[in-house]
Structure 1
Amino acid sequence: MSRSIRAIHKAHTARRWALILLLVNLTVFISVLLAQSNGYHHPALAYIKAFAEAACIGGLADWFAVVALFRHPLGIPLPHTAILPAKQAQLAQGVAKFITTHFLEPSVISEQLLRLDVGRHLNVYAQQHLTQAVVVQYVPNILQTLMRRVPIEAPTQLVVWSRSAMTAYLSGARLGRSTARLIDVAREQGLDRRLVNAMAQSLHEFVTAEDAKERMRPWLSELAVAAQKLDTSDASWWDKMKSQLTGQAIEWADDLIIDKSLAWLADLTVNVQQDEQHPVHLWVGEHVQGWREKLYNDEVWHDWLAAHVHDWLHTTTAEAMVKAVWSKSRSWLDEAVAVDSAYIEPVAEKIRQVVLTYIADSEQQSRLTEQLAQQVAKGLTEYQDDIREWLTTQMNMWSKERLNSALDNAIGHDLQYIRINGTLIGGLIGVILFAISQWLG
Structure 2
Amino acid sequence: MERMERTEADTAPKAERASGAGTAPTGTGPGGGFVPGGTDEERRRAVRRMKTLATGLLLAVAVVYALAKWAGSAGAGGWTGYVAAAAEAGMVGALADWFAVTALFKRPMGLPIPHTAIIPTKKDQLGQSLGDFVGENFLSAEVVRRRLRSVGIGRRLGGWLAEPKNADRVTDELSTALRGALTVLRDSDVQAVVGEAITRRADAHEIAPGAGAMLEKIVAEGGHRRMVDLIVFRAHDWLVEHADSVMTAVSGGAPGWTPRFVDRKVGDRVYKELLRFVTEMRDMPEHPARGAIDRFLGDFADDLQSDPQTRAKVERLKSEVLGRGEVQDLIASAWGSVRAMIVAAAEDERSELRLRVRAALLSLGRRLSDEERLQSKVDGWLEGAAVYVVTTYQSEITSLITDTVAGWDAEQTSKKIEAHIGRDLQFIRINGTVVGALAGLCIYAVSQAFGG
TM-score of the two chains, using structure 2 as the length reference: 0.70
- Give the structure 2 partner of residue 64 of structure 1: 99
Task: Map Cα deviations across residues 72-130 of structure 1 (whole Å, 9 max, x no partner).
Answer: 557x4744443113212111111111221122221232233334433222222333463
1:417 corresponds to 2:452: no
**Which amino acid is 1:30 matched to?**
V
Amino acid of the structure 2 residue aligned with 1:64: F
Match of 1:232 in 2: none
Quickly say closer, same or farther: Cα 1:185–1:71, change in 2 above 3 A.
farther
In structure 2, what is the Cα distance between the partners aligned to 1:328 and 1:350? 31
Contact 1:177–1:296 at 8 Å: present in 2 too?
A: no
Alpha carbons of structure 1 residues 48 and 370: separation in structure 2 relative to 1, 3 Å: same
Partner of 1:245: none
Q: How far is the alpha carbon of 1:54 from its aligned partner?
A: 2.8
Contact 1:144–1:338 under 8 Å retained in 2: no
Determine whether 1:47 maps to 2:82.
yes
C-alpha deviations, 1:361-396, integer Å up to 9, x for none? 321111222233233334433333333333322332
**Relative to 1, partners in 2 of residues 1:169 and 1:334: Cα closer, same or farther, differing over 3 Å?**
farther
Distance 1:409 1:166 in 2: 73
Match in the other structure for 1:98: 133
Amino acid at match of 2:332: S
Task: Provide closer, same or farther for how the CA distance between residues 118 and 317 of structure 1 changes in structure 2, counting only shifts above 3 A.
Answer: closer
Larger radius of gyration: 1
CA contact (8 A) 2:57 2:433 kept: no
Q: Does the residue aligned with 1:170 lie in a helix, a strand or coil?
A: helix
CA distance in 2, matches of 1:405, 1:326: 66
- Which residue does the alignment assign to 1:233? none
* CA distance in structure 1 between the aligned counterparts of 2:231 and 2:338, rounded to whole angstroms: 38
Bigger shift: residues 53-62 or 290-299: 290-299
* Mapped partners of 2:68, 2:171: distance in 1: 81
User: 2:282 aligned with 1:258, yes or no?
Assistant: no
> 2: CA distance between counterparts of 1:405 and 1:100?
26
Contact 2:131–2:402 (Cα < 8 Å) also in 1: yes
For residues 161-199 of structure 1, the C-alpha deviation after alignment (integer angstroms, 9 at most, x for no partner) is 233335376252323434776523335xx5234321343
**Residue aligned with 2:205, SS:** helix
**What's 2:148 paired with?**
113
Aligned to 1:200: 239
Aligned counterpart in structure 2 of residue 160 of structure 1, from 175, 184, 200: 200
Contact 1:12-1:413 at 8 Å conserved across structures: no
Structure 1 residues 177, 202: closer, same or farther in 2, change over 3 A?
Answer: farther
The match for 1:311 among 313, 316, 320 is 316
Q: Choose between structure 1 and 2 for higher RCO, CA contacts under 8 A separated by at least 6 residues.
A: 1
SS where residue 5 of structure 1 aligns? coil
1:299 aligns to what? 302
Q: Alpha-carbon deviations, 1:225-272, whole Å to 9, x = none?
A: xxxxxxxxxxxxxxxxxxxxxxxxx4xx42112333455567778x76
Is this contact kept in 1: 2:90–2:435, CA < 8 A? yes
Task: Say which of 152, 155, 166 aligns to 1:130.
Answer: 166
Query: Is the 2:239–2:246 contact (alpha carbons within 8 Å) kept by the matching residues of 1?
Result: no
Structure 2 Cα separation of the partners of residues 158 and 393 of structure 1? 47
The residue that corresponds to 2:230 in the other structure is 191
How many Å separate the matches in 2 of 1:358 and 1:350?
A: 12
Residues 208 and 314, structure 2, Cα contact 8 Å, conserved in 1: no
Match of 1:368 among 367, 378, 384: 378
The question of whether the paired residues in 2 share the 8 Å contact of 1:119 and 1:369 is answered with: yes
The 1-side partners of 2:145 and 2:377 are apart by 14
Q: How does 1:81-92 map to 2 (within 5 A)?
A: 81-92=116-127
1:51 touches 1:427 (CA, 8 Å); kept in 2? yes
Gaps of 5+ in 2: 1-25, 28-34
Q: TM-score, normalised by structure 1?
A: 0.71
Task: Tell whether the 8 Å contact from 1:51 to 1:428 is kept in structure 2 after alignment.
Answer: yes
Q: 1:356 aligns with which of 343, 365, 370?
A: 365
Deviations 1:265-301 (A, max 9, x none): 67778x76xxx99336358964244313542477347
Tell me what 1:5 maps to.
37
Task: Find the counterpart in structure 2 of residue 281 from structure 1.
Answer: 282
